[in-house]
Amino acid sequence: MVMKKVLTKDLSIGDKILKFDRSWMETDFLKHKFIIKDQATIDRIKRNDIQYVYVDAQSSEEKKVEKIYGGEPEEIIEEAAELNENNLIDLDDFNSTTEIYKESIKIVKSVLEDIRGGKLFNTGAVKNVAENITELTMRNKGVLASVTKLRQHDDYTFQHSMNVSIYSASLAAHLGLKEPEIERIASAGLLHDVGKMLVPTDVLNKPGKLTDDEFSIMKNHVQLGYDFLKKQGLPQDMLRLPYEHHERFDGSGYPRGLVDKDISIEGKIGAVVDIYDAITSDRVYHKGMEPPSALKLMFKWADSHINKKVFEFFIMNIGIYPVGSLVLMSTNELAVVGKTNLNKPTAPVVLVFMNKKGQRLPFKAVNLAKSSVNDQKIIGPVNPEKIDIPDEIYTYIDNMNKAE
């Protein structure tokens, strides 16, 4: 790769930035290596008073204007790191949202247990939860999705329904859907698995592999749920996600074997988020996959099982953590990302510096990719405006990366 010095005024879409004329700490960019996708990025570089940059000479000459949501997994992950800047968590928001999440799960549990008992459920309760999810999603796309990582081994069915609703609403917002559509999708996500409440519990909760007959019974939960929700009087546009979230891009799904062109946007959203939450969730008899492994697996399914474009938007939605970003840990400690792990981008090396009481700690480097610290995870990126981050932590990070 050959670097070429270019004046900011001469930049154009398609240039691959390798380095700025100053330290990344002196700009509002969290990374200095990216492809310019639009004029807004050039304008942002100018607003930072950057006089010149270094670009990849080959890409500059070829002027290959990359599509913003195309390419290989590594390119998508880089784009996610850049877009992650827009999903910062405010700690006050996070704490209040956590309480809303826990209370909402109780409501979802009550609704689903009513259905299991053969009762019609309280549509008003579902609407209230969906409104809360939508309001929080519109305010900050990152904070609500972050609380889904506060998983417990019990009550999987209820947490899964809540998580699918949250991920679906947040993904819908990233896709540019309007607020009424987002609220409708949030409601549909809450109800996407109601048919499972009508499946015999010995089949639903069986820890081992299902027999062919049992799998046929389990697959029927989609039709059972659709019929139940239709009987309850829900509008057709709210039934698409519950009815289509097991349909697949290549027509191999159920219950109707639809191919991608016949699957609604709600169905495509539902398929992606349902799979992701299911394979990353811990069960009593099953350890969930780590997000990087889950995303890598799902990339293999893109445009065979799931719609690739929708999946790539989802990756932007859940976010990756660039060096220098402030993050909240599952221990309620604060840390700054010090180094990325290329093979495990959601498990970087972090520098823990503050405990949950807001007290400064001696810097502690934690490699989240190491099995010995699997109990520690990143909950999400934090808005640094209200946090006193010690300047020396960035010197520590620079030295850490120079030592490579």
Q: What is the pLDDT of residues 318-344, one digit of tens each?
A: 766 666 778 888 888 999 888 766 566
pTM of the model: 0.65
Task: Look at residue 143 in the predicted model and tell me its pLDDT.
Answer: 56
Residue 121 has pLDDT above 70, yes or no: yes
Q: Is residue 82 part of a domain?
A: no
Residue 70: pLDDT band by 50, 70, 90 thresholds? very low
Residue 190 has pLDDT above 50, yes or no: yes
Task: Look at residue 371 in the predicted model and tell me its pLDDT.
Answer: 53
In whole angstroms, give the CA distance from residue 29 to residue 177: 27
Max avg pLDDT among 20-34, 112-126, 306-320: 112-126
Q: Are residues 236 and 175 in the same domain?
A: yes
Helices (H) and strands (E) in the chain, counts: 16, 9
In whole angstroms, give the CA distance from residue 1 to residue 58: 7
Q: Are residues 254 and 300 in the same domain?
A: yes
3-state secondary structure of 205: coil
In whole angstroms, give the CA distance from residue 116 to residue 108: 12
pLDDT over 70, % of the chain: 77
In whole angstroms, give the CA distance from residue 81 to residue 284: 33
Max avg pLDDT among 65-79, 187-201, 204-218: 187-201
Domain limit, last residue, from 318, 352, 377: 318
Q: Is residue 75 part of a domain?
A: no
Please state, as a whole number, how many other Cβ atoms lie within 10 Å of the Cβ of residue 117: 9
Q: Are residues 200 and 306 in the same domain?
A: yes
Joined together, the tokens standing for residue 42 give: 């050039």
Task: Look at residue 144 in the predicted model and tell me its pLDDT.
Answer: 59
Task: Look at residue 62 in the predicted model and tell me its pLDDT.
Answer: 39
**Which is more confident, 272 or 297?**
272
**Which is more confident, 312 or 88?**
312
Residue 349: pLDDT band by 50, 70, 90 thresholds? confident
List pLDDT tens digits, range 217-258: 999 999 999 999 999 999 999 999 999 999 999 999 999 999
Task: Look at residue 22 in the predicted model and tell me its pLDDT.
Answer: 81
| 352 beta partners | 335, 364
**Which is more confident, 283 or 189?**
189
Residue 401: pLDDT band by 50, 70, 90 thresholds? low
DSSP 111-172: HHHHHHTTPPP-HHHHHHHHHHHHHHHHH-HHHHHHHTTS--SS-HHHHHHHHHHHHHHHHH
Task: Look at residue 263 in the predicted model and tell me its pLDDT.
Answer: 96
Please state, as a whole number, how many other Cβ atoms lie within 10 Å of the Cβ of residue 237: 13
**Which is more confident, 87 or 60?**
87
Q: Are residues 109 and 28 in the same domain?
A: no
Q: Are residues 245 and 275 in the same domain?
A: yes
**Which is more confident, 345 or 187?**
187
Where helices occur in 155-307 by DSSP H, the ranges are: 156-174, 179-190, 201-204, 212-219, 221-232, 236-244, 265-280, 291-301
Q: Are residues 56 and 158 in the same domain?
A: no
Q: How wide is the angle at C-alpha 306 spanned by C-alphas 301 and 136, nearest 5°?
A: 120
Please compute the mean of the pLDDT values over residues 68-75 and round it to a whole number.
41
Q: Is residue 104 part of a domain?
A: yes
Q: Is residue 397 part of a domain?
A: yes
Domain limit, last residue, from 270, 297, 318: 318
The answer to whether the beta carbons of residues 380 and 89 sit under 8 Å apart is: yes
Q: Are residues 240 and 348 in the same domain?
A: no
Q: Is residue 79 part of a domain?
A: no
Domain limit, last residue, from 13, 32, 66: 66
Long-range contacts of 43-51 (CB under 8 A, 24+ apart): 45/8, 45/11, 45/20, 46/8, 46/9, 50/8, 50/20, 50/21, 50/22, 51/7, 51/8, 51/21
Count Cα atoms within 13 angstroms, Cβ side, for 273.
36
Q: Is residue 24 part of a domain?
A: yes
Task: Look at residue 260 in the predicted model and tell me its pLDDT.
Answer: 95
Residue 69: pLDDT band by 50, 70, 90 thresholds? very low
CA 270 centroid distance within chain = 13
Long-range contacts of 247-256 (CB under 8 A, 24+ apart): 247/271, 248/304, 248/305, 248/306, 249/303, 249/304, 249/305, 249/306, 249/307, 250/304, 250/305, 252/305, 253/305, 254/219, 254/222, 255/219, 255/220, 255/222, 255/223
| CATH number reported for the structural domain that contains residue 157 in this entry | 1.10.3210.10
Q: Is residue 348 part of a domain?
A: yes
Q: Are residues 311 and 330 in the same domain?
A: no
Please compute the mean of the pLDDT values over residues 117-146 and round it to a whole number.
81
How many domains does the chain divide into? Answer: 3
In whole angstroms, give the CA distance from residue 367 to residue 351: 9
Q: Are residues 312 and 375 in the same domain?
A: no
List pLDDT tens digits, range 72-105: 444 444 555 444 544 555 555 666 677 778 888 8
Task: Look at residue 320 in the predicted model and tell me its pLDDT.
Answer: 65
Q: Are residues 308 and 184 in the same domain?
A: yes
3-state secondary structure of 261: helix
Q: Are residues 184 and 292 in the same domain?
A: yes
Q: Is residue 74 part of a domain?
A: no
In whole angstroms, give the CA distance from residue 41 to residue 47: 10
Task: Look at residue 150 in the predicted model and tell me its pLDDT.
Answer: 57
Task: Look at residue 285 in the predicted model and tell me its pLDDT.
Answer: 63
Max avg pLDDT among 147-156, 169-178, 393-402: 169-178
Show the domain range for 187: 91-318
Q: Are residues 266 and 299 in the same domain?
A: yes
Buried b (16+ CB within 10 A) or exposed e, 151-184: beeeebbbbbbbbbbbbbbbbbbbbebeeebbbb
Joined together, the tokens standing for residue 368 give: 């989240």
